[in-house]
Amino acid sequence: MLKDITLGQYYPGKSVVHRIDPRMKIILTTAYVVMLFIINHPIGLAVGLLVLAVGYGAAKIPLRLMFKSLKPVLPIILFTAILNIFFIDGTVLLRWWIFKITQEGLLLAAVMAARILCLIAGTSLLTYTTSPIVLTDGLEQLMAPLKKIKLPVHELAMMMTIALRFIPTLIEETDKIMSAQKARGADMETGGLIKRAKALIPILIPLFVSAFRRADELALAMECRCYRGGEGRTRMKQLRFTAVDAYSLLFFVLCFAVIIVLNLMLPAIV
Protein backbone atom coordinates (compact mmCIF):
# COMPACT_ATOMS: atom_id res chain seq x y z
CA MET A 1 0.00 0.00 0.00
CA LEU A 2 2.85 2.41 0.80
CA LYS A 3 4.26 2.02 -2.71
CA ASP A 4 0.91 3.17 -4.13
CA ILE A 5 1.21 6.64 -2.58
CA THR A 6 2.37 8.90 -5.41
CA LEU A 7 1.94 12.30 -3.74
CA GLY A 8 4.94 14.49 -4.52
CA GLN A 9 6.22 12.41 -7.43
CA TYR A 10 7.19 14.11 -10.70
CA TYR A 11 6.62 12.46 -14.08
CA PRO A 12 9.03 14.04 -16.62
CA GLY A 13 7.61 15.01 -19.99
CA LYS A 14 7.25 17.70 -22.64
CA SER A 15 3.49 17.78 -22.97
CA VAL A 16 1.29 20.87 -23.12
CA VAL A 17 0.46 20.57 -19.43
CA HIS A 18 4.15 20.31 -18.52
CA ARG A 19 4.79 23.57 -20.39
CA ILE A 20 2.08 25.53 -18.55
CA ASP A 21 3.49 28.13 -16.19
CA PRO A 22 3.61 26.71 -12.61
CA ARG A 23 1.78 29.79 -11.28
CA MET A 24 -1.08 29.12 -13.68
CA LYS A 25 -1.15 25.43 -12.75
CA ILE A 26 -1.36 26.26 -9.05
CA ILE A 27 -4.18 28.74 -9.71
CA LEU A 28 -6.08 26.29 -11.95
CA THR A 29 -5.65 23.43 -9.46
CA THR A 30 -7.01 25.61 -6.65
CA ALA A 31 -9.92 26.70 -8.84
CA TYR A 32 -10.60 23.07 -9.78
CA VAL A 33 -10.87 22.10 -6.10
CA VAL A 34 -13.29 24.98 -5.54
CA MET A 35 -15.28 23.91 -8.60
CA LEU A 36 -15.63 20.36 -7.27
CA PHE A 37 -17.13 21.63 -4.02
CA ILE A 38 -19.68 23.95 -5.64
CA ILE A 39 -20.98 21.24 -7.97
CA ASN A 40 -24.45 20.19 -6.79
CA HIS A 41 -25.65 17.98 -9.66
CA PRO A 42 -24.32 14.82 -11.38
CA ILE A 43 -24.22 16.61 -14.75
CA GLY A 44 -21.92 19.23 -13.26
CA LEU A 45 -19.75 16.42 -11.91
CA ALA A 46 -19.53 15.04 -15.43
CA VAL A 47 -18.02 18.40 -16.48
CA GLY A 48 -15.48 18.05 -13.67
CA LEU A 49 -14.58 14.56 -14.89
CA LEU A 50 -14.22 15.95 -18.42
CA VAL A 51 -11.73 18.58 -17.20
CA LEU A 52 -9.76 15.86 -15.42
CA ALA A 53 -9.75 13.62 -18.51
CA VAL A 54 -8.58 16.48 -20.74
CA GLY A 55 -5.81 17.33 -18.25
CA TYR A 56 -4.44 13.79 -18.01
CA GLY A 57 -4.83 13.24 -21.75
CA ALA A 58 -2.93 16.43 -22.60
CA ALA A 59 -0.25 15.63 -19.98
CA LYS A 60 0.18 12.11 -21.43
CA ILE A 61 0.24 10.64 -17.92
CA PRO A 62 -0.24 6.83 -17.94
CA LEU A 63 -3.57 5.77 -16.50
CA ARG A 64 -1.79 3.33 -14.18
CA LEU A 65 -0.23 6.29 -12.36
CA MET A 66 -3.60 7.95 -11.91
CA PHE A 67 -5.16 4.74 -10.56
CA LYS A 68 -2.11 4.22 -8.36
CA SER A 69 -2.65 7.62 -6.74
CA LEU A 70 -6.31 6.76 -6.06
CA LYS A 71 -5.72 3.33 -4.50
CA PRO A 72 -4.72 4.56 -0.98
CA VAL A 73 -7.93 6.62 -0.60
CA LEU A 74 -10.31 3.81 -1.57
CA PRO A 75 -11.04 2.87 2.10
CA ILE A 76 -12.01 6.49 2.82
CA ILE A 77 -14.23 6.58 -0.26
CA LEU A 78 -15.86 3.28 0.72
CA PHE A 79 -16.52 4.48 4.27
CA THR A 80 -18.05 7.75 3.00
CA ALA A 81 -20.23 5.87 0.51
CA ILE A 82 -21.55 3.50 3.20
CA LEU A 83 -22.50 6.42 5.45
CA ASN A 84 -24.38 8.11 2.61
CA ILE A 85 -26.13 4.94 1.48
CA PHE A 86 -27.50 3.90 4.88
CA PHE A 87 -28.11 7.22 6.63
CA ILE A 88 -29.70 9.47 3.99
CA ASP A 89 -33.49 9.78 4.06
CA GLY A 90 -35.51 9.50 0.89
CA THR A 91 -37.24 6.93 -1.30
CA VAL A 92 -36.56 3.58 0.37
CA LEU A 93 -35.36 0.85 -1.99
CA LEU A 94 -34.38 -1.76 0.60
CA ARG A 95 -34.84 -2.01 4.36
CA TRP A 96 -33.11 -4.36 6.80
CA TRP A 97 -33.29 -4.01 10.59
CA ILE A 98 -32.29 -0.40 11.40
CA PHE A 99 -30.64 0.12 8.02
CA LYS A 100 -32.27 1.35 4.86
CA ILE A 101 -30.99 2.00 1.35
CA THR A 102 -32.56 4.99 -0.36
CA GLN A 103 -32.42 6.22 -3.92
CA GLU A 104 -31.11 9.60 -2.76
CA GLY A 105 -28.46 7.89 -0.64
CA LEU A 106 -27.15 5.87 -3.58
CA LEU A 107 -26.99 8.97 -5.76
CA LEU A 108 -25.26 11.02 -3.07
CA ALA A 109 -22.77 8.19 -2.39
CA ALA A 110 -21.86 8.01 -6.09
CA VAL A 111 -21.45 11.79 -6.35
CA MET A 112 -19.33 12.05 -3.19
CA ALA A 113 -17.10 9.16 -4.27
CA ALA A 114 -16.57 10.72 -7.68
CA ARG A 115 -15.86 14.09 -6.06
CA ILE A 116 -13.14 12.66 -3.81
CA LEU A 117 -11.60 10.75 -6.72
CA CYS A 118 -11.50 13.91 -8.84
CA LEU A 119 -10.01 15.85 -5.93
CA ILE A 120 -7.12 13.42 -5.44
CA ALA A 121 -6.47 12.90 -9.14
CA GLY A 122 -6.65 16.63 -9.90
CA THR A 123 -4.16 17.64 -7.21
CA SER A 124 -1.86 14.73 -8.18
CA LEU A 125 -1.73 16.10 -11.74
CA LEU A 126 -0.03 19.25 -10.40
CA THR A 127 2.89 17.34 -8.88
CA TYR A 128 3.07 14.89 -11.79
CA THR A 129 3.68 17.71 -14.27
CA THR A 130 5.68 20.22 -12.18
CA SER A 131 9.20 19.65 -10.90
CA PRO A 132 9.92 20.65 -7.26
CA ILE A 133 12.24 23.53 -8.26
CA VAL A 134 9.72 25.04 -10.67
CA LEU A 135 6.94 24.53 -8.14
CA THR A 136 8.98 26.44 -5.55
CA ASP A 137 9.45 29.37 -7.94
CA GLY A 138 5.75 29.42 -8.74
CA LEU A 139 4.69 29.38 -5.09
CA GLU A 140 7.20 32.08 -4.21
CA GLN A 141 6.00 34.44 -6.92
CA LEU A 142 2.34 33.85 -6.10
CA MET A 143 3.00 34.65 -2.45
CA ALA A 144 5.21 37.67 -3.27
CA PRO A 145 2.60 40.23 -2.01
CA LEU A 146 2.99 38.73 1.47
CA LYS A 147 6.50 40.17 1.63
CA LYS A 148 4.91 43.53 2.41
CA ILE A 149 3.85 42.19 5.80
CA LYS A 150 7.36 40.81 6.46
CA LEU A 151 6.56 37.15 5.83
CA PRO A 152 9.54 35.00 4.70
CA VAL A 153 7.92 34.02 1.41
CA HIS A 154 10.94 32.29 -0.12
CA GLU A 155 11.58 30.21 3.00
CA LEU A 156 7.91 29.21 3.23
CA ALA A 157 7.81 28.14 -0.42
CA MET A 158 11.07 26.24 -0.02
CA MET A 159 9.84 24.39 3.08
CA MET A 160 6.54 23.45 1.43
CA THR A 161 8.28 22.11 -1.65
CA ILE A 162 10.95 20.22 0.28
CA ALA A 163 8.25 18.61 2.42
CA LEU A 164 6.34 17.59 -0.71
CA ARG A 165 9.51 16.33 -2.37
CA PHE A 166 10.50 14.11 0.57
CA ILE A 167 7.15 12.34 0.87
CA PRO A 168 8.13 9.63 -1.67
CA THR A 169 11.55 9.31 0.03
CA LEU A 170 10.00 8.80 3.47
CA ILE A 171 7.50 6.31 2.06
CA GLU A 172 10.34 4.32 0.51
CA GLU A 173 12.27 4.47 3.78
CA THR A 174 9.21 3.25 5.71
CA ASP A 175 8.79 0.32 3.34
CA LYS A 176 12.45 -0.67 3.80
CA ILE A 177 12.18 -0.49 7.60
CA MET A 178 8.99 -2.58 7.60
CA SER A 179 10.63 -5.20 5.39
CA ALA A 180 13.67 -5.31 7.68
CA GLN A 181 11.51 -5.69 10.79
CA LYS A 182 9.46 -8.46 9.18
CA ALA A 183 12.69 -10.26 8.24
CA ARG A 184 13.57 -10.18 11.96
CA GLY A 185 10.28 -11.84 12.83
CA ALA A 186 8.15 -8.80 13.66
CA ASP A 187 4.39 -9.43 13.36
CA MET A 188 2.48 -6.32 12.23
CA GLU A 189 -0.61 -7.83 10.62
CA THR A 190 -2.21 -9.90 13.37
CA GLY A 191 -3.66 -9.13 16.78
CA GLY A 192 -5.87 -6.38 18.09
CA LEU A 193 -5.61 -2.65 17.61
CA ILE A 194 -3.36 -2.11 20.63
CA LYS A 195 -0.98 -4.88 19.55
CA ARG A 196 -0.72 -3.45 16.04
CA ALA A 197 -0.09 0.02 17.45
CA LYS A 198 2.74 -1.32 19.61
CA ALA A 199 4.18 -3.11 16.57
CA LEU A 200 4.57 0.29 14.86
CA ILE A 201 7.04 1.54 17.48
CA PRO A 202 10.04 -0.32 15.94
CA ILE A 203 9.11 1.36 12.64
CA LEU A 204 8.44 4.90 13.82
CA ILE A 205 11.63 5.31 15.86
CA PRO A 206 14.06 4.45 12.99
CA LEU A 207 11.89 6.48 10.60
CA PHE A 208 12.12 9.62 12.78
CA VAL A 209 15.87 9.12 13.23
CA SER A 210 16.31 8.77 9.47
CA ALA A 211 14.13 11.84 8.78
CA PHE A 212 16.10 14.03 11.21
CA ARG A 213 19.37 12.76 9.76
CA ARG A 214 18.25 13.59 6.21
CA ALA A 215 17.11 17.05 7.33
CA ASP A 216 20.48 17.69 8.99
CA GLU A 217 22.38 16.52 5.91
CA LEU A 218 20.23 18.71 3.67
CA ALA A 219 20.77 21.78 5.88
CA LEU A 220 24.53 21.14 5.94
CA ALA A 221 24.63 20.77 2.15
CA MET A 222 22.71 24.03 1.66
CA GLU A 223 25.05 25.88 4.03
CA CYS A 224 28.12 24.49 2.23
CA ARG A 225 26.70 25.92 -1.00
CA CYS A 226 26.32 29.33 0.68
CA TYR A 227 22.54 29.23 0.63
CA ARG A 228 21.18 32.39 2.28
CA GLY A 229 17.51 32.33 1.33
CA GLY A 230 15.87 34.28 -1.47
CA GLU A 231 17.75 37.54 -0.98
CA GLY A 232 19.86 38.30 -4.05
CA ARG A 233 18.96 34.98 -5.67
CA THR A 234 18.82 34.86 -9.47
CA ARG A 235 17.11 32.28 -11.68
CA MET A 236 18.42 30.64 -14.81
CA LYS A 237 14.86 30.24 -16.16
CA GLN A 238 12.43 33.11 -15.76
CA LEU A 239 8.74 32.32 -15.47
CA ARG A 240 6.63 33.81 -18.26
CA PHE A 241 2.99 33.44 -19.22
CA THR A 242 2.54 32.16 -22.77
CA ALA A 243 -0.32 31.45 -25.15
CA VAL A 244 -0.64 27.95 -23.67
CA ASP A 245 -1.46 29.52 -20.30
CA ALA A 246 -4.07 31.79 -21.88
CA TYR A 247 -5.78 28.88 -23.66
CA SER A 248 -5.73 26.78 -20.48
CA LEU A 249 -7.28 29.61 -18.48
CA LEU A 250 -9.93 30.19 -21.16
CA PHE A 251 -10.87 26.51 -21.23
CA PHE A 252 -11.18 26.40 -17.46
CA VAL A 253 -13.21 29.62 -17.29
CA LEU A 254 -15.66 28.15 -19.82
CA CYS A 255 -15.99 24.96 -17.77
CA PHE A 256 -16.48 26.97 -14.59
CA ALA A 257 -19.18 29.04 -16.31
CA VAL A 258 -20.95 25.84 -17.41
CA ILE A 259 -20.93 24.61 -13.79
CA ILE A 260 -22.46 27.86 -12.54
CA VAL A 261 -25.18 27.76 -15.22
CA LEU A 262 -25.99 24.14 -14.38
CA ASN A 263 -26.23 25.01 -10.67
CA LEU A 264 -28.72 27.76 -11.47
CA MET A 265 -30.82 25.72 -13.92
CA LEU A 266 -30.89 22.26 -12.30
CA PRO A 267 -32.19 21.33 -8.83
CA ALA A 268 -29.49 20.65 -6.27
CA ILE A 269 -28.84 16.99 -5.51
CA VAL A 270 -25.88 17.39 -3.14
247 or 134: which carries more pLDDT confidence? 247
Question: Is 145 within a domain?
Answer: no
Region 3-11: mean pLDDT is: 64
Q: Which domain holds residue 258?
A: 1-130+240-270
% of the chain beyond a pLDDT of 70 = 89
Per-residue pLDDT reduced to its tens digit, 57-66:
888 888 777 7
120 and 14 fall within a common domain: yes
257 or 233: which carries more pLDDT confidence? 257
115 and 5 fall within a common domain: yes
Region 229-243: mean pLDDT is: 73
Question: Is 156 within a domain?
Answer: yes
Ranges 2-6, 22-26, 45-49, 132-136: which has the least confidence: 2-6
Per-residue pLDDT reduced to its tens digit, 140-160:
888 888 888 877 787 787 787
Region 213-222: mean pLDDT is: 85
Question: Is 144 within a domain?
Answer: no
pTM: 0.74
1 and 52 fall within a common domain: yes
Region 81-105: mean pLDDT is: 73
> What is the total count of domains within the chain?
2
Region 217-244: mean pLDDT is: 77
**pLDDT reported for residue 32:** 92
Question: Is 45 within a domain?
Answer: yes
63 and 194 fall within a common domain: no
Own/partner long-range contacts of 48-56 (Cβ < 8 Å, ≥24 apart): 48/115, 48/118, 48/259, 49/114, 49/118, 50/255, 51/122, 51/252, 51/255, 52/118, 52/121, 52/122, 52/125, 54/251, 55/17, 55/122, 55/125, 56/121, 56/125
Question: Is 16 within a domain?
Answer: yes
> What are phi and psi for residue 94, nearest 5 degrees?
-150, 135
23 and 67 fall within a common domain: yes
